[in-house]
């Protein structure tokens, strides 16, 4: 077993120390405030089996905070979060030392996940929304465009979804309302030409892609070709709900073609968030934005650990004070 503790002024700096010393496969066993300062102390293990043993040992030794831990555990289990992920988050919640369950849950999410929302303008590369059929990519593209247009930004919208019947017409209906010309591309070479032609002309470029089977190699090869041809950033759009284990595998599949951020859709039509947590963990992706409304002009928001904790533990989170020193908060750019 290889356990090691790291102390730094902020969670992000402590996480970076973990990555430098133990690599990307390191498992976060616990997080807590460093004694005598406002810094953060992280204990990490190199192998999951070691982490699981360490978690069990630390929980066995724990004498306080059990009510907080159990409240967080119950909420995560109710949301269908996979058991191993539950144990890690519960341990992080326990070792945070926070006495309020929603805050402890937020601290655990801050320790277990990263959050990097999509900018409303100034992105270095176009964003291509990718995901399985029916995940909500087209509506997400329309929402992202609408959000920037409402901030007086110039937005370009491209579609290369030439597979689903009516896909172009659906997105065109949204872009016409926003007074944006929808540009079509057919295949990797066509997309590369279109992206080059709009380079520098817009504050933000959003690309809708066809819904493809993450478990079919030819589909993922085609998606990879689109991404590489146009040098775009793939963003996985994942509908909340569904089977957590399958969601984790979908996260892994899209991470393999370069997706590092997860946009969670349809939060307004689901009651359990275990699948999106599983997908983010499976693909080691950062949460960016969430969609919680069918309306194009509303319902898209950046997500943070605090906001996600409020979704997981909604009843008592509103009354809790926020500790600004412990976690990051998402904000619109």
- CB-based contacts of 321: which residues, under 8 Å, 6+ apart? none
Residues 202 and 274 both lie in one domain: yes
Residues 26 and 104 both lie in one domain: no
Residues 136 and 36 both lie in one domain: no
Distance of CA 99 to the CA centre of its chain: 26
Total-model pTM: 0.76
Q: What is the pLDDT of residues 188-212, one digit of tens each?
A: 999 999 999 998 899 999 999 999 9
pLDDT at 313 over 50: yes
Q: How confident is the model at residue 332 (pLDDT cuts 50, 70, 90)?
A: very low
Which structural domain range is residue 185 located in? 127-312
Domain contains 214: yes
For tokens 């275990």, name the residue.
Answer: 274
Residues 229 and 306 both lie in one domain: yes
Q: Which two tokens stand for residue 97?
A: 């030392």
Task: Decide: helix, strand or coil at residue 27.
Answer: strand
Residues 92 and 32 both lie in one domain: no
Q: Beta strand 27-33 with 40-45: parallel, antiparallel or unpaired? A: antiparallel
What is the rounded distance in angstroms from the CA atom of residue 41 to the CA atom of residue 197? 49
Q: Which two tokens stand for residue 248?
A: 């984790």
Domain contains 71: yes
The CATH number of whichever domain residue 140 belongs to comes to 3.40.50.300
Residues 209 and 137 both lie in one domain: yes
Are the CB atoms for 81 and 113 separated by under 8 Å?
Answer: no
Residues 69 and 41 both lie in one domain: no
Residues 96 and 56 both lie in one domain: yes
Residues 215 and 97 both lie in one domain: no
Domain contains 322: no
The mean predicted confidence, pLDDT, of the chain is 84
Residues 250 and 286 both lie in one domain: yes
Residues 71 and 174 both lie in one domain: no
Domain contains 254: yes
> What's the confidence (pLDDT) of residue 3?
66
Question: With pLDDT > 70 as the criterion, what percentage of the chain qualifies?
Answer: 81
Q: How confident is the model at residue 124 (pLDDT cuts 50, 70, 90)?
A: confident
Are the CB atoms for 262 and 251 separated by under 8 Å?
Answer: yes
Which residue has better confidence, 275 or 172?
275
> What's the confidence (pLDDT) of residue 328?
46
Element (H, E) at 112: helix 101-112
């Amino acid at each position: 077993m290889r356990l090691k503790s790291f102390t730094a002024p902020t969670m992000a700096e402590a996480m970076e120390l973990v990555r430098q010393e133990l690599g990307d496969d390191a498992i976060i066993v616990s997080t807590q405030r460093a004694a005598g300062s406002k810094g953060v102390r992280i204990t990490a293990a190199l192998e999951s089996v070691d982490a699981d043993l360490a978690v069990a040992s630390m929980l066995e030794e724990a004498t306080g905070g059990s009510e907080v831990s159990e409240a967080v555990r119950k909420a995560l289990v109710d949301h269908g979060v996979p058991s191993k992920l539950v144990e890690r988050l519960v341990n992080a919640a326990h070792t945070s030392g926070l006495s309020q369950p929603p805050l402890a849950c937020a601290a655990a999410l801050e320790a277990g996940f990263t959050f990097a929302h999509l900018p409303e303008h100034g992105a270095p590369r176009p964003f291509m929304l990718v995901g399985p059929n029916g995940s909500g990519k087209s509506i997400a593209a329309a929402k992202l465009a609408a959000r920037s247009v409402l901030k007086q930004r110039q937005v370009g919208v491209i579609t290369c979804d030439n597979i689903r019947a009516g896909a172009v017409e659906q997105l065109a209906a949204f872009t016409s309302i926003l007074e944006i010309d929808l540009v079509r591309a057919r295949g990797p070479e066509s997309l590369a030409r279109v992206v080059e032609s709009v380079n520098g002309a817009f504050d933000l470029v959003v690309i809708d892609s066809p819904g493809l089977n993450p478990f079919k190699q030819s589909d993922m090869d085609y998606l990879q070709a689109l991404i590489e041809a146009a040098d775009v950033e793939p963003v996985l759009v994942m509908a909340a709900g569904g089977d957590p284990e399958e969601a984790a595998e979908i996260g892994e599949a899209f991470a393999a073609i370069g997706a590092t951020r997860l946009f969670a859709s349809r939060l307004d039509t689901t009651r359990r968030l275990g699948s999106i947590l599983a997908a983010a963990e499976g693909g080691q992706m950062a949460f960016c934005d969430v969609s919680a409304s069918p309306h194009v002009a509303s319902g898209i928001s950046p997500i943070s650990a605090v906001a996600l904790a409020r979704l997981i533990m909604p009843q008592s989170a509103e009354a809790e004070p926020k500790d600004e020193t412990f976690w990051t908060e998402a904000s619109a750019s």
